[in-house]
């Protein structure tokens, strides 16, 4: 893990990059990183995020600034700006079931080519996907999903980069921290090594490439 400033971290992300951003309706999202993405005007982003949050909050800021060109998400109904941009064909949107979304990212992070899920069989979601039978039951083949960057928000980070998450702010963060080439983390608190007990670490240090330093 390398400690960096938020400016340095975001400077590594080129316009047009694919980014996974943790959070669920803006809860558990690395706000400081997104503010800086907006400030540095990274355009044409491929965003992989559970939802579009709401205007002004979480990934909603990226839609306010019209920085997103492609979106993979599960629900964008609470962000009218994202809806508008989708209906105006300014962004290409792939809406997928939430359990499928997280399993595809987990597969990407865990070296699996994909998973077989019953979710979506016989619905619009099945269009263009392979249907695979196992013991007489039908499943959709859902393939792995990865990104160039994962922007992750933790509760505690220690000096090595071990991470814990708080309450419902955990959500997609630990899974995304495994599924990108470069993992950039903000933490509410940075604490000395040993403060986090081994059994409480959720994301082990070697997964973290850059931690945004205090101050």
Partner 1 sequence: MDPQIIIARRVARELHSGDLVNLGIGIPTLVANYVPADLKVFFQSENGLIGTGPIPEQGMAHPLLTDAGGRPISALPGAATFDSAMSFGLIRGGHVDVTVLGGLQVDADGHLANWMIPGKMVPGMGGAMDLVSGARRVIVAMQHAAKGKSKIVAKCSLPLTSTRPVDLVVTDLAVIGFAGGKATLMETAPGVSVAEVMAVTEADLTIPGTVPEMKL
Return residues touching partner 1 (CB under 8 A).
1, 24-28, 50-51, 53-54, 73-78, 83, 86-87, 95-100, 102-103, 106, 109-112, 117-125, 155, 158-160, 162, 165-175, 178, 193-194, 198-199, 201-202, 204-207
Least Å from the CB of residue 160 to partner 1: 5
Partner from partner 1, a second copy, none contacting 113, C-beta within 5 to 8 A by type? a second copy
Closer of 5 and 84 to partner 1 (Cβ): 84
Residues in contact with a second copy by CB under 8 A are: 103, 107, 110-118, 132, 134-135, 137, 139, 141, 143-144, 164-167, 170, 198-200
Under 8 Å between Cβ of 18 and 48: yes
Q: How does strand 92-95 pair with strand 114-117?
A: unpaired
Contact between 79 and 63 under an 8 Å Cβ cutoff? The reply is: yes
CA distances from 18 to 48, 148, 174, 184 (A): 8, 5, 18, 13
Provide, rounded to whole angstroms, the least separation between the CB of residue 169 and partner 1.
4
User: What is Dmax (Cα atoms) for the chain?
Assistant: 58
Cα–Cα distance for residue pair 204/136, rounded to 1 Å: 39
Q: How far is the CB of 134 from a second copy (least distance, A)?
A: 4
CA neighbor of 107 nearest in space, from 115, 117, 99:
115
Q: Which of a second copy, partner 1, none lies near 29, with the C-beta cut-off 5 to 8 A by kind?
A: none
Between CA 76 and CA 101 the distance in angstroms is 14
Question: Which option in a second copy, partner 1, none does residue 26 bind, with CB closer than 5 to 8 A by kind?
Answer: partner 1
């Amino acid at each position: 893990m390398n400690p960096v400033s938020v400016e340095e971290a975001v400077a590594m992300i080129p316009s047009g990059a694919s980014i996974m951003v943790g959070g669920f309706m803006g809860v558990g999202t690395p706000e400081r990183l997104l503010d800086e993405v907006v400030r540095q005007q990274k355009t044409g982003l491929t965003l992989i995020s559970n939802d579009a949050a709401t205007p002004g909050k979480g990934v909603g800021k990226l839609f306010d600034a019209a920085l997103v060109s492609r979106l993979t998400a599960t629900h964008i109904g609470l962000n009218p700006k994202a809806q508008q941009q989708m209906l105006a064909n300014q962004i290409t949107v792939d809406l997928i079931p939430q359990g499928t979304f997280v399993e595809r990212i987990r597969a990407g992070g865990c070296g699996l080519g994909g998973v077989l899920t019953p979710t979506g069989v016989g619905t619009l979601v099945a269009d263009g996907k392979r249907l695979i039978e196992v013991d007489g039951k039908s499943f959709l083949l859902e393939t792995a999903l990865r990104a160039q960057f994962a922007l992750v928000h933790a509760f505690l980070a220690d000096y090595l980069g071990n991470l814990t998450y708080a309450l419902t702010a955990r959500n997609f963060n630990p899974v995304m921290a495994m599924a990108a080439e470069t993992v950039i983390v903000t933490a509410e608190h940075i604490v000395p090594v040993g403060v986090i007990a081994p059994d409480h670490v959720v994301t082990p240090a070697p997964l973290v490439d850059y931690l945004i330093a205090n101050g």
